Structure 1
Amino acid sequence: MREPDRQVPTPHGGREHVPAGPVRELLTPRETALGGSTVVRRLLPNLGRRMVGAWCFVDHYGPDDIADEPGMQVPPHPHLGLQTVSWLHQGEVLHRDSLGNLQTVRPRELGLMTSGRAISHSEESPREHARLLHGAQLWVALPDTHRHTTPTFEHHTHLPEITAPGLHGTVILGTADTATSPGTTHTPLVGIDLTLTEGSTTRLPLEPDFEYAALTMSGRTEVDGVRLEPGSMLYLGSGRRELPLRALADGSLLLLGGEPFEEKIVMWWNFIGRSSEEIVQARSDWMEGSRFGEVHGYDGQRLAAPTLPSVPLKPRGRAR
C-alpha cells in the first residue's frame, strides 16, 4: 500500500550500523495520501532509520471516519522481493491479487502476502464498510535465498495470544514466549499486537539478539519510560532481555523486532532488489503487462510506475 509518485530509491541493509545496545530513538512520521480518503503516517523508511530486523516499511492510518467516504482505494500495483502484512484494529480491507485470491481482512486477522518473484494486488474498503478504519500496513524484506520464491497469500483468522496482568497480546508473526504465529516467515523476526489496560505496568520478555521498535496504535502508553502518542514509533535498538511497559490510559501498540538484516538491498517504489538492473527490469515488466499477472475485479485502472531516477540505483547499508 504505497503512493505511486515515490521516485527516490531507499537502500537498506547491513548489520554494522545496528546499535550494540538499547537506545530510545523517537521516529517522526511523514504524512502521505493514498487512494481514496486514506492518509497514512509513514514511520519506516525514516530518515536515518530504514529497517528494524527485516521490517522495512510501516504505515499507520486512522482511526478515520469513512461512513460517507470510499475509504481505502489502492488500485492494482506490483510487488517484488517482499512480504506485505495487513493488520487492522477497525474496519475491513478487501484484498484481490493476481493469483485469484479475493479475501476480506478484518480486525486482528492476518493478511500476509509473499510477493516472491512477482505478484500484483489491490486493496480497498468494501462498498458496504464499517464507519471507522484503523490499522497498519507493513512490509518484510525477503532474504536472497527466498526472494524468488513462488508468490502466495495467507489469511489467518485465529492467531496465538499471550497474556499478563493488564496486558493482552496477539502474535502476528514469529514467536513470543511459547506462542508462534502460523504466518510464514523467512528470517528470524516477531510482530506482536499489544493491548494495555489503564494503570497496568508490566515487563515483556525480549530476544537480546533482536532489534525492536514500538508503534503506538491508540491510547497513551510509556515504552521504557518514553511516552508515546498514537502514530509515533520508538526505535529500541538491541541487547534487551525485557521491555518495561506502562499504560497511562487504555491503549495498544505494535512491537516489531527481528535479527538485524545483514544483506544490502535496493528498495524503490514497490520493489526490493539487489541491483539497479533488477529494479529497471521489474519496472519494465510491470509497464509492459508481463510477469506480475493481472488483478481481476477491481473497478478502475492499475497504477503506473513512477519514473526511475536518472542515476543507477545502488545497494547500500542501513543508514544514509
Structure 2
Amino acid sequence: MGNQTGILDFLLLGLSDQPGQQQLLFRLFLGMYFIGTLGNLLTILAICFDSHLYTPMYFFLANLSFLDLCFTSTTVPKMLINYLLGSNAISYAECLAQMYFYIAFGTSDSILLSAMAYDRYQAVCHPLRYGTIMTSRHCALLMAVPWVSAHLISMVHAILIAQLSFCTNNKIPHFFCDINALIKLSCSDAHVNEMFVLLLGGPVILICFICIVVSYTPIVFAVCKIPSAHGKWKAFSTCGSHLSVVSLFYGTIIGVYFNPSSTHTAQKDMIATVMYTVVTPTLNPFIYSLRNKNLKRALEKLLGLQCFSKG
C-alpha cells in the first residue's frame, strides 16, 4: 500500500497554524469534548441502571449518546494530541481508519435521528397502539439498520480511497482525514470516488430528511389539537429543540458534501464540520436528555444528587 500511495504520512493542517490560536482552540475543544463525553456517558448509565427507562424512546437516546461519543472520539482526541505535542502528522493507515469510522458513526447518527422521529410519531399519533408497534424486536431492527448500512457505506469509501495514489502533496487542509480532502489530494483519477460520495451519501441524507419531515408533519397537526396552551407549548418546545439539532446536523452536512466544489473553501468547510462533529454531539445530551424529568430522576438516583430533581 505504501508503494502505491508514495506517501506514508499526511499532515493535518488543522483549524489554525498560529501558536496562540492553537492554545485557545486546544482549551475550547478539550472543554467541549469533556462536557460532551461526560453528558453522553451519564445519559447512557442513567438509562441502563434505571428499569423505568426501559422504553423505546430511552433506548434510542442511549444509542444516540453512544454514537455521539464515538463520533467525537474519532476526530477530537487526535486533534487535541496534535495541538498538545505540536505535531500534525498522521499515518496513512491511521488516516484511512479515521475516515472509515468518521463516515460510519456520522451516517449511523444521521439514520438514527430519523428513527427517533419515527418513534415520536408513533408515540404522539398512535399512543394506544404504541406498545404493540414499537416492540423490542422492532426497536432492535431500527437500530441495526443504521449500524449495518453505515458500515457498508463506509467500507465502500475506504476501499475506493485505498485505490487512489498520493504523490507529493500530503497536506490535508482539515483537522481530520475528511474524504473530500483526500480525494482532492490524490494525483490519480478520482471521478469514481466523487461519484460514490454523491451516490451513497445523497440518498441516505435525502431519505432520512424525508422520513423526519413525514414523521413530524402529523405530529404538528396532533399537537395543534391539544386543548391546553401549556401542553401545546411544551410539545412544540420539545419538537423545536429536536428539529433545531436536526437542521444543524443535516444543514451543515449538505453544505459541506452536496454543494458544487467551486463554492467550497477550506475554512468554511471546517467551520461547518465543527458544528456537526463537535458542537451538536456536545449539545445533544442537554437537548434530548437532561431536559427530560424522568431522566433527571434517573441521574439523581445514579449520582445521589438532589439538584437534578429541582427546577
Q: What TM-score range do you get, normalising by the shorter chain?
A: under 0.3
TM-score, with normalisation over the residues of structure 1?
0.27
TM-score, with normalisation over the residues of structure 2?
0.27
Structure (1/2) with the larger strand percentage? 1
Structure (1/2) with the larger helix percentage? 2
Q: Which has the larger radius of gyration?
A: 2
